[in-house]
């Protein structure tokens, strides 16, 4: 990922979080994207005279962080018996150097009883699903996943998101999985393409060869099936590609992703003419649209909600 793209993505992500009072979820460890996000939050707080608090939550496994970090956390927590506050791994044993990224406001640690264990997407998926389910007159939560680079394990994240009808933004040019999916999305969105709108195994293999030259087909057969599921026509409106050379900024791309997902949902409801819909359900739909308009005004993206405003005239 180029330095220009890195700065644009992290700045846009933090701008979106501060404007919309959003929470950022990461793996919470001091490397990769989690580290970039943490450093971006630090720079934001240093450069602003009166910065807003950016709520950034790390979610990782207790066994992922190193022994020194575990000792520090156990010592800081009251009530732990003395034996638990002693080293359980000899100092001469090599272990991963992962530690918690210090600029995150919160960190949730899950303990599976195994060292060097990495978190599946189950916990994040449940967390976001529950947050989006809880809404009232003053609060609505929209979940959006930003894929920056991403390993093959991120396919589980995206599959969970499309299953829950949550939008995904793919950062083109960041490398690996993000570029594979961005390439395939743009290929199948080409209007000059034939009527076969879903990518073949051969097309997915070619994308892998381009961005994962060392991968063998026998190693990625499961991932190919996952990608085919993600790129089904019914999920296409949930997949958004951000290009630093084409798009205005990441914050706007995030809003577009939210709006596209809601527009598709409302269109589906309108096609059924909301059979059996009660007056209360109509009022709730209008409230949801009002919140989207308010979000667009905060984001300075009125063009995104013009269809809603025109429909009300």
Proportion of the chain above pLDDT 90, given as a percent = 41
Burial class (CB in 10 A: 0-12, 13-18, 19+), 193: exposed
pLDDT the model gives residue 84? 59
Sheet containing 145-147, strands listed edge to edge, beginning at the edge strand earlier in sequence: 145-147, 168-171, 239-242
Encoded tokens for 87: 């080293």
Is the pLDDT score of 180 beyond 70? yes
Proportion of the chain above pLDDT 70, given as a percent = 83
pLDDT the model gives residue 293? 81
Encoded tokens for 263: 């527009």
pLDDT the model gives residue 146? 97
Q: What is the pLDDT of residues 212-246, one digit of tens each?
A: 766 555 578 889 999 999 999 899 999 999 999 88
pLDDT the model gives residue 98? 81
pTM: 0.86
Q: Where are the chain's structural domains?
A: 1-119, 259-311
Is the pLDDT score of 87 beyond 70? no
Q: Which residues contact 216 (CB under 8 A, 6 or more apart)?
A: none
CA gap 188, 166 in Å, rounded = 20
Is the pLDDT score of 207 beyond 80? yes
Alpha-carbon distances, residue 127 vs 104, 120, 166, 230, 235 (angstroms): 17, 13, 13, 21, 22
Q: Which of 272, 313, 312, 263 is nearest to 292 (CA)?
A: 263
Q: What's the chain's average pLDDT?
A: 83
Q: What's the average model confidence in pLDDT over 125-138?
A: 86
Q: What's the average model confidence in pLDDT over 284-310?
A: 76
Q: How many CB atoms lie within 10 A of CB 195?
A: 4
CA gap 20, 157 in Å, rounded = 23
pLDDT the model gives residue 83? 60
pLDDT the model gives residue 277? 57
Q: What do you get for the CA distance between the two ends of the chain, in Å?
A: 45
């Amino acid at each position: 990922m180029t330095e220009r793209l890195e700065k644009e993505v992290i700045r846009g992500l933090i701008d979106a979080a501060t404007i919309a009072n959003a929470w950022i979820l990461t793996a919470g460890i001091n490397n990769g994207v989690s580290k970039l996000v943490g450093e971006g939050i630090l720079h934001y707080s240093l450069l602003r005279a009166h910065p807003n608090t950016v709520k950034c939550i790390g979610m990782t496994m207790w066994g992922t962080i190193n022994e020194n970090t575990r000792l520090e956390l156990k010592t800081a927590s009251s009530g732990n018996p003395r034996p638990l506050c002693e080293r359980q791994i000899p100092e001469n044993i090599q272990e991963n150097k992962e530690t918690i990224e210090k600029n995150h406001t919160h960190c949730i640690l899950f303990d599976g009883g195994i060292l060097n264990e990495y978190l599946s997407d189950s916990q994040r998926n449940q967390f976001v699903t529950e947050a989006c389910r809880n809404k009232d007159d003053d609060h609505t939560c929209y979940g959006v996943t930003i894929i920056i680079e991403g390993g093959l394990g991120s396919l589980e994240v995206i599959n969970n998101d499309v299953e829950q009808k949550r939008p995904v933004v793919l950062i083109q040019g960041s490398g690996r999985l993000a570029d594979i999916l961005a390439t395939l999305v743009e290929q199948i969105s080409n209007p000059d393409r034939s009527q076969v709108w879903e990518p073949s195994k051969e097309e997915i293999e070619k994308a892998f060869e381009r961005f994962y030259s060392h991968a063998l087909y026998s190693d990625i057969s499961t991932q190919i099936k996952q990608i085919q599921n993600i790129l089904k026509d019914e999920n296409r409106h949930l997949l958004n590609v951000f290009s630093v050379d084409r798009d205005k900024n990441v914050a706007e791309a995030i809003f577009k992703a939210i709006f596209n997902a809601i527009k598709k949902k409302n269109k589906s409801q309108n096609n059924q003419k909301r059979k059996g819909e009660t007056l209360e359900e109509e009022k709730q739909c209008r409230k949801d649209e009002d919140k989207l308009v308010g979000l667009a005004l905060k984001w300075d993206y009125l063009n995104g909600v013009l269809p809603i405003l025109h429909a009300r005239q």
